[in-house]
Structure 1
Amino acid sequence: MMDHARDLASVRDATKRLLTAAAELHNARAPEPSRLPGWTRGHILAHLARNADALVNVLQGRPMYASGAARDADIERDAPRPLDVQLADVRESADRFQDVAAVFVDWSRTVELRNGVTDQAARVPFRRWIEVELHHVDLGIGYELEDLPEEFTQREIDFLAARFRGHPDVPGLLIKQDDGSMIPSGAVESVSAQQLAGGYEPPLPALTVSGQRAELLGWLAGRRDGSALHVEGGTLPSLPPL
């Protein structure tokens, strides 16, 4: 079950970490390339600000973005701004999101995100946490996947594995973490931790991918190529874009 209040606190902490780290940059470094192809650090900061406002729209029952083109245009418009303006925008938009979430009531409600995707409102804070943590890594300023909070890394691996489960372009595979726990993905049925603890052994697919959590997350989230992972039963599949 989603704990939206706890996730909102985690979002607040993650935002503070990002703003503190980004404040050490100089203006000249904001236009430098980020780790995301085609995006500068300014693009990432602009996206984070506009994403916070977009999630306010979601919680208040409006479309997340006016359109995909409008979303992209807003990021392009805001990306070249001076660093102090960027950071103020990220901070103020993050505060707006927290303020709206603080008075939101119906967390069980189904909300609509981009491209027709729907989810429970209670998961919106976690989705914002994903944006802040992964894009902090994408800035390329010393924060790595290995630095992510352990709880976040585990939950994001679970979230992405579930997202790809049943996808027609993802083969049935089992994700095995370095602690021995297994997460079904692709076409494999979900197996609970309780079942595994009770001795149940799921029917294994032909393909098993194993490795450290940071490497698994990097591969699932499109941040690493998976070369550090161990694959049994075939070759590492290419995952569709998120």
Structure 2
Amino acid sequence: MIDHAHDLASVREATDRLLTAVAELDNASVARPSRLPGWTVGHVLAHLARNADALTNVLDGRPMYVSGAARDADIERDAPRPLDTHLADLRESHTRFSAGGARPADWARTVELRNGVTDSAARVPFRRWAEVELHHVDLGIGYDLEDLPKEFTEREIDFLAERFSGHREVPPTGLRSDGGHVWTTGGDAPGGPVGVEGSTADLLGWLAGRRDGSALTVRGGTLPALPPL
């Protein structure tokens, strides 16, 4: 069962880690390339702040973004700002998200995200947790997939394995971590079943598009090409 209160607390902890790490940077760091193609560190920080506001909108029953173009324009506008402005924006947008999560609500209700995607309100805090953790890694400032909390890593693998389950472009695929945890995904594309084994960090990196999967062991075929998230 999803525990939204637990996940809201985890968002706070992840945001504190992020803010502590980012505070060690300087203004020149904002313009450095991040690990995301075409995005600087400033782009990632701007996206994190605007995503917090977008998910606050979702909790409050408003559209997540005015439009895709407006989302992209906001990130481009905010990316070059000085570091202290980014830090203040991250703190303030997190405070707004936390306030939205603290209001009495029907957490079983269905909410709408981007591009017509729907989910339960109770899963929105976990989605925010994923944004903070994965984009902290994307900053390229010394926090990597191996540093992620074990609970988060396993739950995000659960989430992504479910997302690709039955996908018409992904063959039946079994995942096994070196700790013995197993998942299944894919299912509608020809080929397989394929077995993929490795550390939870490498499995998550492959599923989330952060690693190419070269560190994984593949049995029964080739490593499936995953569609973009």
- The reply to whether TM is greater than 0.5 is yes
Relative to 1, partners in 2 of residues 1:104 and 1:75: Cα closer, same or farther, differing over 3 Å?
A: farther
Does residue 234 (structure 1) correspond to residue 221 (structure 2)? The answer is: yes
Given candidates 188, 205, 211, the residue that maps to 1:218 is 205
TM-score by length of 2: 0.97
Secondary structure in 1 matching 2:176: strand
Superposed counterparts of 1:16-165, under 5 Å: 16-165=16-165
Deviations 1:118-137, CA, capped at 9 Å, x for gaps? 00000000000000000000
Which range moves more in the overlay, 174-183 or 30-39?
174-183
Deviations 1:60-79, CA, capped at 9 Å, x for gaps? 11110011111000000000
The alpha carbon displacement at 1:109 in A equals 0.4
Secondary structure in 1 matching 2:90: helix
Q: Unpaired runs of 5+ in structure 2?
A: none
Amino acid paired to 2:27: N
The alpha carbon displacement at 1:100 in A equals 1.1
Secondary structure in 1 matching 2:155: helix
The answer to whether the Cα contact below 8 Å between 2:196 and 2:216 also exists between their aligned partners in 1 is yes
Secondary structure in 2 matching 1:166: coil
The answer to whether the Cα contact below 8 Å between 1:59 and 1:104 also exists between their aligned partners in 2 is no
The alpha carbon displacement at 1:181 in A equals 2.4
Amino acid paired to 1:157: I
Q: Unpaired runs of 5+ in structure 1?
A: 189-204
Amino acid paired to 1:124: V
Superposed counterparts of 1:202-213, under 5 Å: 205-213=192-200
Secondary structure in 2 matching 1:224: coil
Aligned position for 1:196: none
Amino acid paired to 2:149: P
The alpha carbon displacement at 1:206 in A equals 2.3
Name segments (4+ residues, structure 1) moved above 3 Å.
none
The alpha carbon displacement at 1:58 in A equals 0.3
In 1, distance between residues paired with 2:135 and 2:56?
A: 19
User: What RMSD over aligned residues (CA atoms) do the two structures have, in Å?
Assistant: 0.9
Percent identity between the two aligned chains:
73
Amino acid paired to 1:233: G
Deviations 1:157-199, CA, capped at 9 Å, x for gaps? 01000000011111111011112221010018xxxxxxxxxxx
Aligned position for 2:173: 173
